[in-house]
Amino acid sequence: MSRLIKHLPKIAVLVFVLGGGALLASKMMNSASVPGAQVAVTVPTLTAQAARGSVTFKKICAQCHGDNGAGSDKGPPLIHDIYNPGHHGDGSFYNAVSNGVQQHHWPYGNMPPQPKVKANDIGDIIAYVREVQMANGIVTREHRM
């Protein structure tokens, strides 16, 4: 018993750290973060630029990111608050398409560069994703660590 009391502060700290880590992880990820999970997506009436982006998205991006960016078993949903413009600005999308990106939010692995996407099409894809995000309540929020 005295041994337990001696180690009680260490045990309490360990429980606190593990519990805090689990809480943080649950806030960072929701059910859409599980491979194969998808989010419900509403597609608005699109501008001409976003409509062009939709065509390219369907041909190339949807293979991993799912129909309308809802996610798939190969890639995360882009219609998710983690991709709000305050956290992942348009430059992040340009960089991911052009250069690829290492896995950092989701358990899907690294995204390779997409050489089939022409540079002038990336802006159209971003316009499409942003318009669909807005229709689904995803707006710019200040990023806080």
- Any idea where the domains of the chain sit in the sequence? 2-32, 34-135
- For residue 116, give the 3-state DSSP assignment: coil
- Only one residue has tokens 């540079």, namely 119
Residue 69 has pLDDT above 70, yes or no: yes
Gap between the Cα atoms of 61 and 111, Å rounded: 11
Task: Band the pLDDT of 3: cuts 50, 70, 90.
Answer: low
Of 29 and 46, the one with more pLDDT:
46
- Specify the fold of 34-135: Cytochrome Bc1 Complex; Chain D, domain 2 (1.10.760)
Gap between the Cα atoms of 135 and 55, Å rounded: 18
Contact present, 132 and 43 (Cβ < 8 Å)? yes
> Cα separations (Å) of 80 from 16, 18, 66, 140?
29, 26, 13, 12
Residues in contact with 135: Cβ distance below 8 Å, sequence separation at least 6, in sequence order: 42, 43, 44
Q: How many CB atoms lie within 10 A of CB 102?
A: 8
pLDDT at 13: 52
Task: Band the pLDDT of 52: cuts 50, 70, 90.
Answer: very high
The model's pLDDT over 108-140, given as tens digits with 9 standing for 90+, comes to 999 999 999 999 999 999 999 999 999 999 998
